[in-house]
Structure 1
């Protein structure tokens, strides 16, 4: 098997093309807490759910960035990290203006 940029981008170490995988624990926690925060929309419980959701999504993105099976998965982790940081900056600026 040739080691081209396309192979490094989309194939794992076994040669399989990997774009999506079964969700791991941080992603499952993010999904569950995000859905729960849509049900519980106010109060301290909502704040805790928001913090846990953001923390677990950050953890997932960090793991993908540094341990992703291919360049695509690592780029996905980087994009999510940038998205998390940008959304927090935008929401913080919205609160202070």
Structure 2
């Protein structure tokens, strides 16, 4: 099989096209904490959930950026990381 740009962008080491994967633990924790922030209105708990959500989503983005199975997943991690930092710095 040729090693084309398409292959490097969308295929993993086994030759499978990988765009979406089952979510891993940091992504699940980040999504659940973000959803709980919408439900819980207590200031202290909301702040704790915000920290947990940001930390887990940051961890997920960092892992995708450096350990993603293909260039698409790594680009997804970079975009998510930049978006998280921009969102927090506003």
TM-score interval, normalised by the smaller of the two chains: over 0.9
- Corresponding position of 1:40: 40
Q: TM-score, normalised by structure 2?
A: 0.97
Quote the residue 1:9 is aligned against. 9
Where structure 1 has 5 or more consecutive residues not aligned to the other structure, the ranges are: 91-97
**TM-score calculated relative to the size of structure 1:** 0.90
Task: Work out which of the two has the higher radius of gyration on C-alpha atoms and give 1 or 2.
Answer: 1
Give the ranges of 4+ consecutive aligned residues of structure 1 lying more than 4 Å apart after TM superposition: none
Give the number of aligned pairs.
90
For the aligned residues, what is the CA RMSD? Answer: 0.7
Summarize deviations over 1:24-78 as a string: whole Å, max 9, x none.
0000001111111110123100000000000000000000000000000000000
Q: Structure 2: which 5+ runs fail to align?
A: none
